[in-house]
């Protein structure tokens, strides 16, 4: 099958790859580019483990074809830390024990990041809604919600 060229910006860096037509973005990121932070869970759009941010919107990389992302700006969890300093969401997930097996964590963090990018001080209901497409089988969700609210409160205090 003919390869198709794909170029996009991933976590601030220009990436260019040749992929098989029909390759999912998840496959391209993990197996071609080497960013293994998005996880392949259900491949059905049900679990949210593969969530990434494409042009400012949360998307499921398992259901997105890589060639439809040509020219896009993509963010994944692996691009969040800055020179070894964790992003506030990553720090909060650790501090509130919101991570157990860790498989859902990258998707949860990207879903939370989109929320906080648009709504820096969300209500608890808004946090629950924002995470409603992401499944966690370990934590019971409460520590994850608390992690996001912790960052939100910090945002609020910094803005005051």
Partner 1 sequence: MALALQTFATVKDANAALKAAGTRYLGGGTLVVRAANEGDVSVSGLIRSTEPSLSTIAVAGGKVRIGASVTMAAIARHPDLGTLAKTARAVGGPAIRNMATVGGNLFAPAPYGDFAVALLALDATVSTDDGETPIETFLAKRDGSRAIVTSVGFTLPPQGGFRFLKVSRVKPKGVSVLSIATVLQQAPDGTVSSARIALGCMADRPVRASAAEKALLGRMLTADGIAPALAAASDGTSPITDPIASAWYRNEVLPVHLGRLLLA
Q: By CB under 8 A, is residue 57 in contact with partner 1?
A: yes
Write out the binding residues for partner 1, residues 25-44 only, by CB under 8 A.
27, 43-44
| Residue 121 burial (C-beta neighbours within 10 Å; 0-12, 13-18, 19+) | middle
Instruction: List the one residue from 22, 86, 97, 142 that touches partner 1 (CB under 8 A).
Output: 22
Q: Is 23 in the site for partner 1 (CB under 8 A)?
A: yes
Q: Which of 9, 11, 17, 20 binds partner 1 (CB under 8 A)?
A: 20
Residues numbered 73 to 132 that lie near partner 1 (CB under 8 A) are 111, 114, 128-132
Question: Measured from the CB atom, is 57 or 82 closer to partner 1?
Answer: 57
Write down the least CB distance from residue 73 to partner 1, Å. Answer: 15
The closest alpha carbon to 93, from 82, 77, 79, belongs to: 77
Minimum gap (Å) between residue 148 Cβ and partner 1: 13
DSSP string for residues in 103-129: SSHHHHHHHHHHHHHH-SS--HHHHHH
Q: Which is nearer to partner 1, 109 or 111 (CB)?
A: 111
Cα–Cα distances (Å) from 85 to 10, 80, 88, 89, 90, in that order, read 19, 9, 9, 11, 10
Residue 62 in the binding site for partner 1 (CB under 8 A): yes
Secondary structure (3-state) at 149: helix
Packing angle, helices 142-159 and 105-118, rounded to 10? 30
Using CB under 8 A as the criterion, which residues of the chain lie in contact with partner 1 when the complex forms?
1-2, 4, 20-24, 27, 43-45, 48, 51, 57-60, 62-65, 67-68, 111, 114, 128-134
């Amino acid at each position: 099958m003919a390869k198709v060229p794909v170029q996009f910006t991933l976590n601030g860096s220009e990436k260019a790859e040749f992929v098989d037509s029909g390759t999912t973005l998840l496959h391209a990121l993990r197996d071609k580019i080497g960013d293994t932070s998005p996880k392949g869970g259900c491949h059905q759009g049900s679990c949210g483990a593969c969530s990434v941010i494409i042009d400012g919107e949360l998307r499921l990389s398992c259901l997105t074809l890589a060639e439809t992302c040509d020219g896009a700006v993509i963010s994944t969890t692996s691009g969040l830390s800055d020179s070894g300093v964790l992003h506030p969401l990553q720090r909060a997930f650790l501090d509130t024990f919101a991570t157990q097996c860790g498989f859902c964590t990258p998707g949860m963090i990207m879903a939370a990041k989109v929320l906080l990018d648009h709504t820096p001080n969300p209500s608890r209901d808004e946090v629950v809604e924002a995470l409603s497409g992401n499944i966690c089988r370990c934590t019971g969700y409460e520590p994850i919600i608390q992690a996001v609210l912790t960052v939100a409160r910090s945002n609020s205090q910094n803005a005051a």
